[in-house]
Structure 1
Amino acid sequence: MAVARPVDPLELETPSALGRWAAAAAEFCRQRPLGAIGAGAILFLFVVAALAPVISADDPLAVHFDAMLARPSALHWLGTDAFGRDVLARLIYGSRTALLVGFGSAIVGAALGTILGVGSAYFGGRVDLYLQRLMDVFLSFPLIVLALALVAILGNSVPNVIAAITVPMVPRCALVIRASALSIREMPYVDAARAAGFGHARIILRHMLPNVMAPFLIMLTAFLGQAILLEASLSFLGLGVQEPTAAWGLMLRGAAVDFAEAAPWMAIFPGLAISFAVFAFNLFGDSLRDALDPKLRTQ
């Protein structure tokens, strides 16, 4: 006769990976309501960017000379620009540019900064010395000045703008990650891995990198708002995304000066969109930092 295997009570109580993520999200929303609002605003931006062709029936690049500088109306809810292009359509499609540049530069910058920071802390010695002096050179320049110089050299395409925004972010992330990695390097399990004869790559990948994910996520969310604002600044100055691409900073260029009185909606709505996106990412990033930072968790 078959005997039933005793069931471990822990097996019944262990939630699935999806359940753990859902529980963590619910706990985050309960303890950090402002962060939940920021996350909801970010989700809204993603939905708008993904469903841009569905939400907007107008072509953001279509020129209508018979509707130039039209005031907001039932036909054009947010009015038109100097070329008769629908402002709402360009705002909606501009969210794609903002998220592409923001996430592209933030992810690459945070990833490279994490690699350099962990490598600098782990190897120490001359490697740490040379890398930190190199980081100091980049940090000696203001972020906007370095980005302006790089985009002027590389050109005005979207990939070049992403690269120009990424480079100034790398040393800032590397310093934060290095500070966390220095304490991890002295942990007993890292010493045990060295004593067991594990190689540098295995120790870094299995013991160092997983333990700096919290500061990595914090820096990533902090960079997102900065990247969107920096892209808008570069486009406003004429060194970022170029016409006819729909971009919020590009919509502001000239609108605030040439049409401030005749067509104020050309500058108001892109400015509000930039403020909304940056505020959403900063709100979520601050709450995520408070949730992941063990020093703040008990306060």
Structure 2
Amino acid sequence: MKITGTFLDEISHDIPSSNWGRKEWAKDFDEMKAIGIDTVILIRAGYKNKLTFDSESLKKYIQPYPVYIDLVDLFLEQAERCGMNFYFGLYDSGEYWHKGDYKKELEINKELAKEVAEKYGERKAFKGWYASHELSVHDEDQLSLVGELCEELKSIKNIPILISPYVKGRMQFEDPITLEEHEAQWDQIFSALSGKVDIVAFQDGQVDFFELEDFSRVNKKLADQHGIESWANVESFERGMPINFLPIDWRNLKMKMDVAQKVGVSKLITFEFSHFMSPNSIYPSAHFLLDRYREFTKL
């Protein structure tokens, strides 16, 4: 399997800005197309006070930093030029849903979704929603947020909805979840999201490599049982280094891709091409990661 989708990191929340404009983004979309990427996913419309476009609905709730370029329009334009599907990621307040006020987070995102549908909904590339609030364990408030938001999205524009949750694993947490606990909790989560979420792409970087296949098999089995399509979010950055976040060692990426193929997911996406795999990346090692990827995938 090859990587055929990538997130678009738009506002540099926890990785550095590339300081690209239209010319640089167009060049990078060309590179994505050249290796077979057909799907791009805006990871979020905004985070805290940083926005991808000048949203009137969000300005009712926050005082945003100035928006100098409409990145949503830019990404849609490039996706249309390159024949790609675009998934729109929602807004993360970085506040309300983390402290249990999921209703406020939901209120904000419902208004945003309506604005987005009116502004961009008829664009040719607009083929999906991305519910950007990442789930991990069974939390009733967070689950209600995602479930109710997905219902709203379906009512506004009935197109596929993607989520990309993560495992509470030992690569990120001091008290990692067991495989048995994870299976039990995600059976409950998928039961609540069945019929609301269409696609799940679990992140693969939070568990130790030697646990990855077991967790991936459980994720695929549960998604199948609840009628949800399985992709894999094969992260192209390294979690196991003292410095966060740098392009991944090619060997680690290849191992994770092999696991995803082995368990039978239907598509590989990554977070994310432009920083960690692109020949235009600010990281020189990303250029070589793409070289190794192309060698082994015969691209």
TM-score if structure 1 supplies the norm length? 0.22
* Greater length-normalized contact order (CA 8 Å, ≥ 6 residues apart): 1
Higher helix share: 1
TM-score if structure 2 supplies the norm length? 0.22
Q: Which has the larger radius of gyration?
A: 1
